Amino acid sequence: MPRTINPGDKKTKTASLFHNLYKPVTEILPGMTPLEARGDRPLQMDFEHQLKSLILFHLEEHTSAQHLLHVLKEDAFAISTIAPPEGIGKSSFGEAINNRGLEQFSYVFEQLQLRATKTIPAQFSRLGELVAIDGSLIDSVLSMYWADYRDGSKKAKAHVGFDLNRSIPRKIFLTDGKSDERPFISRILQPGQTGVTDRGYQCHRDFDLLQTEGKHFICRIKKKTHQSIIKQQEAPQDSIVFYDARVLLGTAGENQTKHEVRVVAYRVAGVEYFIATDRFDLSAEDIALAYKLRWEIEKFFAWWKRHLKVYHLIARSAYGLMVQLLAGLITYLLLSIYCQEQYNEKVSIKRVREIRIKIRNEFAQQEDIPVNKKKFSKSKHWVSFHAKI
């Protein structure tokens, strides 16, 4: 039988869960450059209305901008907590998303990422700061002419750096779908960090560049890549590792690395993995573990797309899509911080569902709901959400 989480006992007063979830944003807003109108007319949708609307879009799995706008107009919680006081029309909403706020969204994302880094403990600190780097294609529409991919198909590509120690996003760049992914390694990494990448990022020139910049890499390479062995280590007994050597990668006079590279090879379930790295300080087994952790960014992309509906387009311009992606990352970071502080655990769909339901039920328990009576009838729309137990 369906039961509500925290059923409607009006005598029980609790702090607004949505405001607690959103609290890290309120703490960093004073340092942000304000979003101002470009003309004499005041903004119909200020930055906080814009940000809260997009957080609601991702948190409640809305499927389109029209769906979100309907909620902002008709839903009691959204009217009282999210929407601008005078409401927002479709054209005004589209104009805001596609043309305003990118600087502010970038600032909030960067500051929340720093907050999450301090809040969430590093799980594999002995391996150093590991950042998985990968690209994710976003299906686009033909009118998005900038999202070049191939004839009859448009796709954009998000290039993401993902903190493997804390399971949170670090950086994001947006390009058309045909864009090369490899140049983003250097842009995503900071000195001292280690980029963990699949073999699509194999580039001997980049391996040299990263070492020159004081950045590190752990990259799967093609098994047949030519190696000039400088020194080979004996592989540990009873280990998945069967090869460990210092080498120069590539063919001399063509694409050979200038700096020494370490190649570690291991075998799992009959599949052989060859990993190139400049991390000479780690054991061969640690190199294998670090590469295995790269799978976490794939799981993040799948979870992010499935449960927060991040790739349901509500913008068509590159500017607007970047705003939407940053809002999705901000939502994920807020959930990460909240789950760590409240439950001492990572984000899970179980906790996200609880948060969604509790926010609604807390609102339904309130005796006085400050909404615009011209737009909303409390008796018609006041609904308590429930979940099956």
The predicted-structure confidence for 117-135, as pLDDT tens digits, reads as follows 999 999 999 999 999 999 9
Distance separating alpha carbons of residues 86 and 130, to the nearest angstrom? 46
User: Do 284 and 353 share a structural domain?
Assistant: no
Mean pLDDT of 15-21: 85
In this prediction, what percent of the chain has a pLDDT beyond 90?
69
Q: Is residue 133 part of a domain?
A: no
CA 365, CA 166: separation in Å to the nearest integer?
A: 35
> With 80 as the cut, is the pLDDT of residue 344 above it?
yes
pLDDT higher for 382 or 235?
Answer: 235
Question: 161 in a domain, yes or no?
Answer: no
pLDDT of residue 80: 87
In a domain, 32, yes or no: yes
- In a domain? residue 169: no
Domain boundary residue among 242, 261, 293? 293
Banded model confidence at residue 386, pLDDT cuts 50, 70, 90: very low
> Has residue 46 got a pLDDT over 70?
yes
Is residue 220 domain-shared with residue 252, that is, in the same domain?
A: yes
- Domain end: 233, 258, 293, which one? 293
DSSP symbols for 123-151:
TTGGG--EEEEEEEEEE--TT-TTSEEET
Contact 159, 133 (CB under 8 A): yes
Number of domains forming the structure of the chain: 2
Question: According to the model, what pLDDT value does residue 365 have?
Answer: 74
Q: What six digits make up the tokens of 347?
A: 């984000």
Query: What pLDDT score does 3 carry?
Result: 34
332 shares its domain with 273: no
**pLDDT at residue 177 greater than cutoff 70:** yes
> Tokens at residue 24, please?
């890290």
Indicate whether 207 belongs to any domain: yes
Q: Tell me, yes or no, whether 343 lies in a domain.
A: yes
Does residue 146 belong to any structural domain of this protein?
Answer: no
Highest mean pLDDT among 6-15, 89-98, 156-165, 370-379: 156-165
pTM for the whole thing? 0.88
> Residue 366's pLDDT is what?
63
What is d(CA 353, CA 186) in angstroms, rounded to the nearest whole number?
37
Residues 14 and 85 in one domain: yes
How confident is the model at residue 380, as a pLDDT?
37
Check whether residue 275 and residue 320 sit in a common domain: no
Q: How far is CA 116 from CA 113, 233, 327, 338, in A?
A: 5, 39, 16, 10
Q: Residue 151 — very low, low, confident or very high, per pLDDT cuts 50/70/90?
A: confident
Q: Is 209 exposed, middle or buried, given 0-12, 13-18 or 19+ CB atoms closer than 10 A?
A: middle
Q: What would the two tokens of residue 103 be?
A: 């600087």
Q: Across all residues in the chain, what is the average pLDDT?
A: 88
Does residue 124 fall inside a structural domain? no
What is the span of the domain harbouring residue 357? 2-105+316-388
Q: Are residues 283 and 327 in the same domain?
A: no
Answer yes or no: is pLDDT of 315 > 80.
Answer: yes
